[in-house]
């Protein structure tokens, strides 16, 4: 009964939030609107990270790679269509004489879109299957996922002739005949991103309340017990890791369509860890928290770094520390805790999260 | 032949620096289960200490004394990094014990803030440290095999540090306490060891080692606020590859990564070499998920 009421409240809050964002074009400047569109794309990554970190307890510091792979897949298509029937400019500069074989499928927009989802999932499957099968977990997995970032970024920077090197891919003109610079296209992509976010929020909310979601939470709270009961955690962990990588790839597609550039700097160690921070600030183990975190953190980043560029890294660092020490459940988790207990002031201040309880 | 020897020597010299960086991480990770992402910033602190001491020598000391600045800066780097490490442990790390993932995020925040502080003090561009006269040149082993004194000195310095750490860990009361806490914290506490003090000391000690490593790195190239980030992931790979809890594992991990890195970079290219090394490590961990050397235990989460 209570749970049903809570989920109704949640539905109303999600509805109001998404509705407000849908009205944003009415009162935001074009520049701010394109920023918001980008942040919405980030929110999709945040949901993905929340699924594996908040719900399954696996901290991946490599989601920048999946985001980047998705973005590069789409960017390769955009690059090919913006200079039809000739080599992309950076290839001729680097002395590559003919189009490499792995660029060929990207002539088709559909293939590029599908690959943007499939390539991150395949990479995630390979890394996830082997590490989870060998029961590498916790901090060890986090380090391995960082190694993945280093590998990928080094490759992308080093193979300049095939990937555009440090500069990445940019200078796109059109997508499916739409002019990427025009205001109407930008508005279209904004609403497209919002629609995708809505769908992802609904699907992932269904996922985490389902039986599968319960098993994921059980893996987070006591993996060995899950194993003893007779489930194979590897299957579930690999599944959710791949799903999360696919979401990051999807976010990459939407990002590159709006931003018009992707470079290795956007998929490195620093962005990968920042993505985790979005979830931590918004509130892990809540889908709404992931979305809110991505929007709030990035809005704060833009505001602060415009006003005090030198102070932003210190602010960001302080946020990491404050969230971990004082708000382990993030904004949404803390608010909902007080909301639930506001008539019962004598309860202990916080219920320990699983990680605290284990320590 | 001499080219091969030179490559081997370079690999060895890279290994020794990695080892010095990773040893502190291995202690904190093994002892307290804290993933200190700010460890790289202690490298930076050590390197900037070398720069500072050099500046002071150039300004206030006679030119004849300049040769000694590096020895002084090693001491300064050790003391300052030790002090800042202690401060960090008391102010932040002790709240994060047993929460490796949270500690990773919080210390990453510390790392960002420290980098920005360094940027504000010393400026964003890299600064160069001039090596003292007696470290210039090299040892002519044969006509075409010259081993630079700088690298020889670093290898010697690291060997000395490792010897001191070994003596401390395995032949002193303090080291015995440290190992006891590392292997079974509760039991050690029951036997009257102040685990709080051991934690703080070990963390500060590990940080001081990173400071020394930073000092050594200042001999090899320019110093910038982000110098630590270049090494932090490599150092963590050393720890993971070596396994947790034994010094010998870290030594083996550092040697493996350093030599393989140099060899593969030499036979392929700089970027492919790095990619191959990391891929090999991931592949190796499939075979031995807990690293090369581990302490056996029956614990289950």
- Residues of chain A neighbouring B99 (CB-CB closer than 8 A): 355-356, 359
- In residues, how long is chain B? 301
Q: What is the pLDDT of residue A346?
A: 53
Q: What is the pLDDT of residue A143?
A: 85
Banded model confidence at residue B300, pLDDT cuts 50, 70, 90? low
Banded model confidence at residue B44, pLDDT cuts 50, 70, 90? very high
Q: Which of B278, B286, B288 would best serve as a mutation to test chain A binding (most A beta carbons within 10 A)?
A: B278
CB B106 within 8 A of CB A321: yes
B279 touches chain A (CB under 8 A): yes
B270 touches chain A (CB under 8 A): yes
Q: What is the pLDDT of residue A359?
A: 44
Q: What is the pLDDT of residue B280?
A: 87
What tens-digit pLDDT sequence spans chain A (359 residues)? Answer: 456 666 777 778 888 888 888 777 778 787 888 888 899 999 999 999 999 998 998 888 889 999 999 999 999 888 888 877 777 777 777 777 777 888 888 888 898 899 999 999 999 999 999 888 888 777 788 888 888 898 899 888 888 878 888 888 887 777 777 777 778 888 888 899 999 999 999 999 999 989 999 999 999 888 889 999 999 999 999 999 999 999 999 999 999 988 888 989 888 888 898 899 889 888 888 888 899 999 988 988 888 888 887 788 888 888 888 888 888 888 888 887 777 766 555 555 555 555 544 44
* Residue keyed to tokens 């404050």: A322
B299 touches chain A (CB under 8 A): no
User: Mean of the pLDDT values across residues B29-36?
Assistant: 81
> Does A144 sit within 8 Å of B105, measured CB to CB?
no
pLDDT at residue B188 above 50? yes
Radius of gyration of chain A (CA): 21
In whole angstroms, give the CA distance from residue A205 to residue A8: 13
Q: What is the pLDDT of residue B181?
A: 85
Nearest-Cα residue of chain B relative to residue A268: B229
Quickly count: other Cβ atoms within 10 Å of residue B173's Cβ.
8
Q: What is the pLDDT of residue A27?
A: 80
Q: What is the pLDDT of residue A204?
A: 92
> Does A224 sit within 8 Å of B116, measured CB to CB?
no
pLDDT at residue B301 above 60? no
Q: Residue A147, CB half-sphere, CA atoms under 13 Å: how many?
A: 27
Q: Structure tokens of A228?
A: 């003893």
Nearest-Cα residue of chain B relative to residue A155: B271
Interface A–B counts its CB contacts (< 8 A) at: 128
The residue among B143 and A318 whose pLDDT is bigger is: A318
A353 touches chain B (CB under 8 A): no
User: Mean of the pLDDT values across residues B192-204?
Assistant: 89
Quickly count: other Cβ atoms within 10 Å of residue A103's Cβ.
18
Min distance B239 CA to chain A CA atoms (Å): 10
CB A290 within 8 A of CB A251: no
CB A61 within 8 A of CB A272: yes
B231-285 pLDDT, tens digit each: 888 888 888 888 876 788 888 889 888 888 888 888 877 778 888 888 888 888 8
B94-131 pLDDT, tens digit each: 888 878 788 888 898 999 899 999 988 888 888 888 77
In whole angstroms, give the CA distance from residue B187 to residue B191: 6
B91 touches chain A (CB under 8 A): no
Q: Where do runs of H (alpha helix) occur along B221-268?
A: 227-242, 247-267
Q: What is the pLDDT of residue B80?
A: 94
Min distance B66 CA to chain A CA atoms (Å): 35
CA nearest neighbour of B18 among B279, B286, B217: B217
User: pTM to 2 decimals?
Assistant: 0.86
- Residues of chain B neighbouring A130 (CB-CB closer than 8 A): 282, 286
Q: From residue B41, give the alpha-carbon distance in Å to each of A293, B19, B207.
A: 27, 16, 9
Q: From residue A43, give the alpha-carbon distance in Å to each of A48, A68, A115, A287, B102.
A: 9, 15, 21, 10, 21
Query: What letter would DSSP give residue B136?
Result: S
With a CB-CB cutoff of 8 Å, which residues 35-54 of chain B face chain A? 35
CB B292 within 8 A of CB B252: yes
């Amino acid at each position: 009964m209570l749970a049903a009421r809570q989920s109704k409240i949640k539905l109303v809050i999600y509805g109001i939030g998404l509705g407000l964002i849908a009205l944003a074009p009415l009162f935001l400047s074009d520049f701010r609107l394109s920023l918001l569109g980008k942040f919405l794309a980030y929110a999709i990554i945040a949901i993905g990270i929340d699924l594996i970190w908040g719900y399954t307890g696996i901290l991946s510091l490599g989601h920048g790679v999946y985001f980047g792979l998705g973005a590069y897949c789409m960017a390769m298509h955009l690059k090919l269509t913006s200079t039809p029937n000739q080599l992309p400019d950076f290839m001729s500069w680097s002395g590559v004489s003919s189009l490499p074989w792995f660029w060929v499928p990207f002539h088709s927009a559909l293939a590029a879109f599908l690959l943007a989802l499939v390539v991150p999932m395949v990479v995630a499957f390979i890394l996830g299957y082997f590490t989870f099968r060998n029961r590498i977990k916790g901090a060890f997995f986090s380090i391995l996922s960082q190694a993945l970032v280093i590998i990928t970024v080094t490759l992308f920077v080093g193979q300049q002739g095939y990937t555009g090197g440090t500069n990445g891919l940019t200078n796109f003109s059109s997508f499916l005949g739409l002019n990427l610079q025009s205001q109407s296209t930008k508005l279209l992509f904004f609403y497209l991103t919002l629609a995708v976010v809505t769908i992802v929020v609904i699907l992932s909310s269904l996922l985490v309340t389902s039986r599968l979601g319960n098993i994921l939470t059980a893996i987070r709270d006591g993996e060995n017990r899950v194993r003893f009961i007779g489930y194979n955690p590897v299957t579930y962990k690999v599944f959710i890791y791949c799903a999360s990588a696919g979401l990051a790839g999807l976010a990459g597609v939407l990002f590159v369509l709006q931003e018009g550039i992707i470079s290795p700097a956007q998929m490195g160690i620093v962005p990968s860890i920042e993505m985790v921070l979005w979830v931590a600030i918004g509130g892990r183990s809540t889908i709404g928290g992931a979305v809110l975190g991505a929007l709030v953190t990035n809005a704060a980043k833009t505001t602060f770094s415009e006003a005090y560029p030198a102070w932003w890294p210190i602010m960001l660092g302080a946020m990491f520390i404050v969230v971990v020490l004082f708000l382990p459940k993030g904004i949404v988790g803390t608010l909902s805790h007080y909301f639930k207990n506001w008539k019962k002031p004598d309860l202990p201040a916080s219920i320990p999260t699983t990680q605290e309880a284990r320590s | 032949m001499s080219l091969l020897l030179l490559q081997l020597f370079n690999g060895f010299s890279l290994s020794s620096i990695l080892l010095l960086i990773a040893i502190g991480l291995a202690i904190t990770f093994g002892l307290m289960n804290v993933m200190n992402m700010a460890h790289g910033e202690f490298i930076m602190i050590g390197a900037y200490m070398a720069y500072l001491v050099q500046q002071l020598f150039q300004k206030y000391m006679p030119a004849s004394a300049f040769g000694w600045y590096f020895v002084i800066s090693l001491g300064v780097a050790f003391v300052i990094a030790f002090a800042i490490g202690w401060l960090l442990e008391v102010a932040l790390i002790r709240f994060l014990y047993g929460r490796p993932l949270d500690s990773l995020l919080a210390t990453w925040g510390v790392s960002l803030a420290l980098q920005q502080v360094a940027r504000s003090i010393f400026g964003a561009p890299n600064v160069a440290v001039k090596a003292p006269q007696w470290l210039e040149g090299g040892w002519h082993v044969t006509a075409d095999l010259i081993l630079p004194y700088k690298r020889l000195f670093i290898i010697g310095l690291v060997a000395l540090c490792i010897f001191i750490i070994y003596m401390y860990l395995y032949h002193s009361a303090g080291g015995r306490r440290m190992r006891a806490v590392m292997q079974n914290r509760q039991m050690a506490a029951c036997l009257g060891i102040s685990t709080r003090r051991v934690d703080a000391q070990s963390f500060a000690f590990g940080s001081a080692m990173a400071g020394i490593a930073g000092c050594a790195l200042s001999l090899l190239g320019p110093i910038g606020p982000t110098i630590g980030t270049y090494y932090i992931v490599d150092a963590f790979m050393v720890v993971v590859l070596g396994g947790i809890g034994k010094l010998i594992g870290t030594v083996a991990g550092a040697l493996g990564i350093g030599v393989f890195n140099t060899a593969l970079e030499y036979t392929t290219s700089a970027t492919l070499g790095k990619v191959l090394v990391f891929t090999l490590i991931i592949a190796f961990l499939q075979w031995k998920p807990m690293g090369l050397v581990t302490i056996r235990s029956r614990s289950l989460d």
